[in-house]
Amino acid sequence: MDFTIYAEEAAQVSVAFIIGAAIGIEREFRSKPAGFRTMIFICVGSCLYTILSKESNTISPDRIASNIVTGIGFIGAGVIFKEGITVNGLTTAALIWITAALGMSIGYHNYPLAFVVSSMVVVALFVLEPVQRFINKLHKVKDYKIRANGTEQIFKEEMETFFASHNVNFRCMKMIKENNEAVYTYRIGAPKYNYDIVNTYLLKHHSVISFDV
């Protein structure tokens, strides 16, 4: 029995554990659905399946790899959810996908690539977040679903005049009628602080029944 092989495989899954933990810490810190332990399981599990696929003489290794990608797709889909007209969880789903790929690269002994990509992921999660916040502060696009009393055109004209007067970029994506109520879907682009003005306007307007962002 060659114990050096087992020691090498143990080292592989240990590296996968460390990389999964490094990525999972950031998700856990932000209270995301797939957190610390989940990312460890994904990375270690992908690494283990890759090691086992290489050792099997009856199953093609590429079939195992393709099935890992398929299985990870189901897990990623489970963390994506829609809240109102906003879709959340895409970043976490992408992290699940790339964490599995990192585990597979470790399983194939491609340590340099795994460490380079892990570094990129950590930089994107921790270092580039302030850059994203800065961009959002300058300009951010949101979709508003606004439900209003009646179907008179005057409310739409009044609302769009308000947007234009406050330097808010807008585009009416959809307009439908439901039970004598008008439902508008607007795509609004504005500096971050301008959304407080938009929200306050909609909250105080007597014609607005509800709105989702």
| Residue 181 CB coordination number (10 Å) | 14
Residues of the chain with pLDDT under 50: none
Report the pLDDT value the prediction gives residue 85, as an integer from 0 to 100. 57
Count Cα neighbours of 163 within 13 Å in the Cβ-side half-sphere.
19
Report the pLDDT value the prediction gives residue 44, as an integer from 0 to 100. 93
- Tokens matching residue 58: 């009856």
Q: Which fold has domain 139-212?
A: Alpha-Beta Plaits (3.30.70)
SS3 readout for 118-170: HHHHHHHHHHCHHHHHHHHHHCEEEEEEEEEEECCHHHHHHHHHHHHHCCCEE
Over the stretch 47-96, which tens digit does the pLDDT of each residue have? 998 888 877 766 666 677 778 888 888 888 888 876 665 677 888 888 99
The predicted model scores a pTM of 0.69
Q: Would you list the domain boundaries of the chain?
A: 3-127, 139-212
Residue 59's identity, in one-letter code, is I
Report the pLDDT value the prediction gives residue 84, as an integer from 0 to 100. 60
Report the pLDDT value the prediction gives residue 72, as an integer from 0 to 100. 85
Question: Distance between CA atoms of 122 and 36, rounded to whole angstroms?
Answer: 14
Report the pLDDT value the prediction gives residue 2, as an integer from 0 to 100. 59
**Counting beta carbons within 10 angstroms of the beta carbon of residue 201, is it exposed (0 to 12), middle (13 to 18) or buried (19 or more)?**
middle
Report the pLDDT value the prediction gives residue 83, as an integer from 0 to 100. 64
